[in-house]
Chains A and B, each alone.
Chain A
Amino acid sequence: MAEASAAPLLDVQGVTLRFTTPERQVTATSRVSFQVQDGDRFVLLGPSGCGKSSLLKAVGGFLKPEEGRILLHGRPVERPGPDRMMVFQEFDQLLPWKTVLGNVAFPMKVGGGLSGREVEERARHYIAKVGLAAFADAYPHTLSGGMKQRVAIARAMAMKPDILLMDEPYAALDALTRRRMQEEFLALWHDIGFTALFVTHSIEEAIIVGSRILVLSPHPGRVRAELDAAGLDQQQQGSPEFQRLHQRIHSMLFAEPVEEVPA
């Protein structure tokens, strides 16, 4: 565990994100700051409209902050890059014209610097880690939703990114599969030890998956709290600590009446 005083891996400083549509300008987040340390499972939690996905995309380099800075290892994020691999919610994030092996190997090939054999070995290693060794030569359209998300996770991890960006990766899965995926995610973290920034709108998922939770309130997205959730996983789901944290976040999110703003 990194010391709290150590230089953060990811430093988000007062970030304001705005979208301009032909008719209006919408502020997605307003001066959001947080720091992710090496080895964190850092969760951005909030209802729809709190800008959590936009924040993740800004860290990914897909959106430019209008105000504030995003620093990775002290260097500002300017554009998308393979040091911040993203896992999306959508199942169609895999390239349909490549097999499972091809999908996992592709970003490594694009990046260069590895021989063909190394690429294949590493790809097969991570495909085995997510339990899909038997499906290496299958095309994505023959896989179930959960399997596709596992491939996307293997693809991201095989790049050994500084930070893994996960945009509600399990939101489109059925409840049973989602549970299994959360367990597997934690097992992989204990096994490999990566840093992840994880977006979700489920309080339960945030507590299970996260070690730190940033609670955001909507319209525009602002930081409501940053909480510690290390040590609470599925085994503790019935425990009083789990319930207490759940209740605390719940009352934070539902304290203010919800007002919908037209998109």
Chain B
Amino acid sequence: MSLSATAPRRATAARPEREEAPIAASAITEPVVRPLPFAQRLAAQGWFRRAIVLVCIAALWELNARLYDNPLLFPSFGETAAALLRLMLDGTLPDRIGTSLEILLMGYAVGILLAAVLTSLAIGSRWGADLLSTLTAMFNPLPAIALLPLALMWFGLGSGSIIFVIVHSVLWAVALNTLAGFRAVPDAQRMAGQNYGLRGIRYVLLILVPAALPSIVSGLKIGWAFAWRTLIAAELVFGVSAGSGGLGWFIFERRNSLETAEVFAGLMAVIVIGLLMEGVVFRTLEARTVVRWGMQR
């Protein structure tokens, strides 16, 4: 059976055409849509998978702490959770969290406002764009904590200094992302906006901002994480800023008195607030806007 011996054969006989009678949809008995089994539907839920991951981490933690058996250095998950619950109920942690969040929100708001001003300048003129990109290139790599000694000299020992370093950590991340978002707006959308006769601030607010929202939201997320990190670090470094001090100062205090479980509880509070912010606030914002509009999956 050599291949070369068989020349390609064409079908010489006429092949019949065919046309089938239309089948009514009602004649198909098999259901077109069928629900998935419960286990599969559960596994498809993001929150469920994340909860499993968290449970696994807690179990590993508990197991390790028990094997190690030194609550002074490494308290177990159970001890930490108990300490967290106690501190939440007696009002210590809520008080400290409140102090920290208040300062954080102030710094975050000022940072976003300044970022809005800088990006407006940047899209308004080429000089503004150069100003922003130069400033960002200079200051973005500078750790906020490195500015703390300077801030202390300028603003003294108080919330002013902490707000200053938070503004620094928020401003560049938000400005950089917003500008990148503006630059990525499709030409057709820009021209459509101009076609309607939109100019100046109305053009920015009605076309550019919503069109760049995915980048703006991701800038806000990064800014939030930077701000939160900077705040806790700044409080750890110079402690009391107002009244009883914030969460960072709490962690520092409890370490000094060797209340390790409470140190862990303080850290856990930091983590939980971060998770809530990411998982509830930003996720809701995204679900209502960019995901709903199909700009982000």
A binds B: yes
A interface residues (Cβ-Cβ under 8 A, vs B): 60, 62, 79-82, 84-86, 88, 90, 92-97, 106-107, 110-111, 139-142
User: Do A90 and B293 have beta carbons less than 8 Å apart?
Assistant: no
Contacting residue for B196 out of A62, A82, A97, A141, CB 8 A: A82
User: Do A80 and B294 have beta carbons less than 8 Å apart?
Assistant: no
Contacting residue for B292 out of A82, A85, A111, A139, CB 8 A: A139
- What is the interface residue range for chain B against chain A? 20 to 34
User: Do A86 and B210 have beta carbons less than 8 Å apart?
Assistant: no
* Inter-chain CB contacts under 8 Å: number: 67
Question: Could you pull out 15 A-B pairs where Cβ atoms are within 8 angstroms?
Answer: A60-B195, A84-B195, A90-B187, A92-B188, A93-B186, A93-B188, A95-B189, A95-B210, A96-B293, A97-B211, A97-B289, A107-B195, A110-B202, A110-B206, A140-B294
Q: Please tell me if B261 contacts chain A, counting CB pairs below 8 Å.
A: no
Please measure, in the bound complex, the distance between the C-alpha atom of A62 and the C-alpha atom of B187, giving whole angstroms.
12
* A141 neighbours in B (Cβ, 8 Å): 293-295
User: Do B194 and A96 have beta carbons less than 8 Å apart?
Assistant: no
User: Smallest Cβ distance from B212 to chain A, in angstroms?
Assistant: 11
Binding site secondary structure of chain B? helix
User: Do A80 and B191 have beta carbons less than 8 Å apart?
Assistant: yes
User: Do B294 and A86 have beta carbons less than 8 Å apart?
Assistant: no
User: Do B197 and A110 have beta carbons less than 8 Å apart?
Assistant: yes
Contacting residue for B210 out of A79, A80, A97, A110, CB 8 A: A97
Q: Which 6 A-B pairs have the closest CB atoms?
A: A141-B294, A93-B188, A90-B188, A107-B196, A80-B194, A96-B293
* A62 neighbours in B (Cβ, 8 Å): 191, 194
Q: Please tell me if B198 contacts chain A, counting CB pairs below 8 Å.
A: yes
Q: Please tell me if B176 contacts chain A, counting CB pairs below 8 Å.
A: no
Please measure, in the bound complex, the distance between the C-alpha atom of A185 and the C-alpha atom of B18, giving whole angstroms.
35
Given contacts A95-B210, A97-B289, A111-B197, contact A88 B191 (CB under 8 A): yes
Given contacts A95-B189, A95-B192, contact A82 B197 (CB under 8 A): yes
Please measure, in the bound complex, the distance between the C-alpha atom of A88 and the C-alpha atom of B194, giving whole angstroms.
13
* A110 neighbours in B (Cβ, 8 Å): 196-198, 202, 206
